[in-house]
Structure 1
């Protein structure tokens, strides 16, 4: 069975549940219910210096949900053919990023916290760190 190539259009903003309360709101996420994978790993970025960029890679198999827990940042998604920039600034929105999409994250506001829910445990072999190699492989998969 041939897997279809992943495209930016496969990535999307997911509205997360919000339980409103005068004492403070609560948002929760359940793997395979609110997002299309079971959660195997959670990590977060914080204290990112002004002007710094994060990301700069793609994953072969890993799926992610990226959330701005606090503050804001921009995520550039690139499938090897087109790019789009998504501004993240709400803790009840998650950006689903499918495999084979290059991501670069920048424009972090002061005090921002970015959380990632991942479909797999850390595996260094799942990464593309070289953009030219990623584009070549993405275009090969597109031709298959």
Structure 2
């Protein structure tokens, strides 16, 4: 008898490489990450550990799905030459597609950070103005129909 190539579990019956669908899926994911990004699953885990186990931006941890599997986070990389570029970190799907994906390049991100650190209104007025917000509207209770 032989062992599973992923977890080392015992193979039974017609199983040739993997003891379960979970191991087969994990092996496919490892092959994909190696082919597309040039890193191993161990390196993926090191990056995630360096980030505190969560998204590199919002720090959210991967959620557990109802089937028991973990939510898949994205490996963020710079798109310097088409799809090729240096790996930056691991992001949750929201931060990767909605935040980083919409910025397109690092110059927009730098401008956004500068805007938040030194707002143009503060520079122009020479002081920080606190917006009072909208006044609360008193609502009349609905009349009950007889």
User: Where on the TM-score scale, by shorter chain, does this alignment land: which range?
Assistant: under 0.3
Q: Indicate the structure whose relative CO is greater, using CA pairs within 8 Å and at least 6 residues apart.
A: 1
Answer 1 or 2: which has greater helix percent: 2
| TM-score computed with the length of structure 1 as normaliser | 0.26
Answer 1 or 2: which has greater strand percent: 1
Please tell me whether Structure 1 or Structure 2 has the larger radius of gyration of its CA atoms: 2
| TM-score computed with the length of structure 2 as normaliser | 0.26
